[in-house]
Amino acid sequence: MKLKNKIVNAIKRNITFNKKFKSEKSFAKWFEKNYKLLGFKKIIPYPEGWQRQQGVPDYKVLIDNKEIGVELETLSSHYKRHHHDDKKVDLVLCLVEDKKLKVNTIEITSFDFTGREMFTVPLFIDITEKKKIKFKVECIRSGVSIKDVINSAVDNYLKMNGKPKWLKK
C-alpha cells in the first residue's frame, strides 16, 4: 500500500517526540488535534446524529484525495477483540503492535501505552476428573475479566487439541 508508506514516512519525519497514553480515548483526542502530522489532509466527519456501529472504523480520513477508514488501538490485539470488519478498515494505527493483523497496521514506535501492563499467567483447569490442562495465558492487568481470560484459554486449547470425547456429545 503506497499510502501506508506515505504515512510511515510522515510519522518518521514529524513524530520526533515521545508521548505516553493511558487509554485509546486519550490517543483519539491527540489524533483529532494532530492528524496532519501523520500525513492526513482532513478527518471526514460522520453524519450528524450518527450512532457508532460495531466494525466501523474510528475515523474516515482524507489522504491523497482518497478516503480511508482508520482505526486507533492502544494494542493491535484489541482490533479483533472489538470485532472490526477488515473490509471497512483500511489502516490500524496502534501504540503497540502485539499481534499481527491482516489489515495494514502501523505502530507508532515513539509512543507508549502505559494504561495496562501485559503479563503471562499459568492457568490450570481440571476439565475431566483425570486430566488437568495447563494454559499459558497473556493477560492485560486490569483490562480483562478473569472470565474472559479463562474462556479465551479454553477456546484456544480446544482449537489446538480438539474437544475431549465427553464434550463432543
The domain limits of the chain are 2-113, 118-163
What is the pTM assigned to this prediction?
0.64
Tell me the pLDDT band of 14, cut-offs 50, 70 and 90: confident
Tell me the CB-side half-sphere exposure of residue 66, using CA atoms within 13 A: 12
How much is the average pLDDT of 37-49? 87
Strand pairing category for 42-44 and 111-113:
unpaired
**Per-residue pLDDT at 55:** 62
Q: Which amino acid is at 41?
A: K
Arithmetic mean of pLDDT, 99-128: 71
Exposed, middle or buried: residue 98 (CB in 10 Å: 0-12, 13-18, 19+)?
middle
Strands (E), 5-87: 19-21, 42-44, 59-63, 66-75
